[in-house]
Amino acid sequence: MTTDGSGWTTGTVTVDRRSVFYRRSDGGHDGVPIVHVHGFAISGAYLMPTARRLAAHRTNVVPDLPGYGRSEHPGRALGIPALADALLVILDALGLREVVLVGNSMGCPVSLEVAHVAPERVHRLVLVSPAGGVQNQPLPRALAQLAADIARESPRMAPVALPDYVRFGPVNALHLFSELTRFPSLERLLRTPVPSLAVLGTRDPLMPPPHRVREVGRLAPAHVTVAVVEGAAHAMNFSHPGELAHVISSWLDGREITDDPGEPGRARVLQIDRA
């Protein structure tokens, strides 16, 4: 384990006899630790802007799941259930009995799967730009949505994301992306056993339109909250870290979710009539 000099340490744990890389904020903080779960074909590096802001409040951990970033590749692209199993092994190896999971994109169905398999391990669940399921079907539609999102993301993300995409490879990417579109993310969300917060960006082409979000919200249990960040695309963990961290910390602390006027984007809770 090494320290980077900015309040974070890096290290590795073993999952299925392979090395898995992680980043962890230094120091002990009150509150349940936050574990950030990255998206499709990319490492946890792009999640660090949000994780760094949340590290002042409690311990944050950002792993690279097996086959991603600086973690060893298992020889094939793991599917959603296998990635959820791997994440549970990572939590065990790091001695984290209960955590807050903050997923982005593919990290949302992975986190949902963990919450369903082991709800006692998940204190709360934050789903940032949840991908997968009916809104991304069929596969050609999902690929078009992904292409549209690339044009909307911050250019500063390219040097972070491009090496990860190249390393993951087009064959693995297409296989996993196809599985992601078929994963029953909506059904998992509607039956989430833990308090959950979904955070959506208004410029995210992979998300359903607002009227559909409200329709789904009316079917969700009362412990599901939906917030919107205006002006954000899919990877708001990178593009709008201050506003996202403000939303997450407010929800975790039981405070009203309001906009942070000092940060780009404007956050608000989506009002859903469940009557």
| Helix H or strand E encompassing 181 | helix 170-182
| Helix H or strand E encompassing 85 | helix 80-93
Sign of the Cα pseudo-torsion (247, 198, 85, 98, in order) = positive
Task: Please answer whether residues 236 and 227 qualify as being in contact, where contact means their C-beta atoms are separated by less than 8 angstroms.
Answer: no
**pLDDT digits 0-9 by tens, 22-52:** 999 986 667 899 999 999 889 999 999 999 9
d(C-alpha 226, C-alpha 196), whole Å? 9
Sorted by where each begins, the domain ranges of the chain are 2-269
Task: Please answer whether residues 136 and 181 qualify as being in contact, where contact means their C-beta atoms are separated by less than 8 angstroms.
Answer: yes
- 3-state percent helix, strand, coil for the chain, nearest multiple of 5: 40, 20, 40
d(C-alpha 256, C-alpha 211), whole Å? 23
Query: The domain 2-269: what is its CATH number?
Result: 3.40.50.1820
**pLDDT digits 0-9 by tens, 159-204:** 999 899 888 888 888 888 788 888 888 888 889 999 999 999 999 9
Tokens 């060893």 found at: 72
d(C-alpha 222, C-alpha 219), whole Å? 9
Q: Tell me, what amino acid is at 263?
A: E
Residues 6 or more apart in contact with residue 113 via CB below 8 angstroms: 80, 81, 83, 84, 188
- Mapped to the 3 state alphabet, what secondary structure does 131-177 carry? CCCHHHCCHHHHHHHHHHHHHHCCHHHHHHHHHHHHHHCHHHHHHHH
Burial state string for 100-125 with b = 16 or more CB within 10 A and e = fewer than 16: bbbbbbbbbbbbbbbbeebeebbbbb
Tens digit of pLDDT per residue, the chain (275 long)? 666 657 899 999 999 889 999 999 986 667 899 999 999 889 999 999 999 999 988 999 999 999 999 999 887 888 999 999 999 999 999 999 999 999 999 999 999 999 999 999 999 999 999 988 777 888 788 888 888 998 899 999 999 998 998 888 888 888 887 888 888 888 888 899 999 999 999 999 988 887 778 887 788 888 999 999 999 999 999 999 999 999 999 999 999 998 888 888 888 887 776 65
Sign of the Cα pseudo-torsion (212, 216, 222, 225, in order) = negative
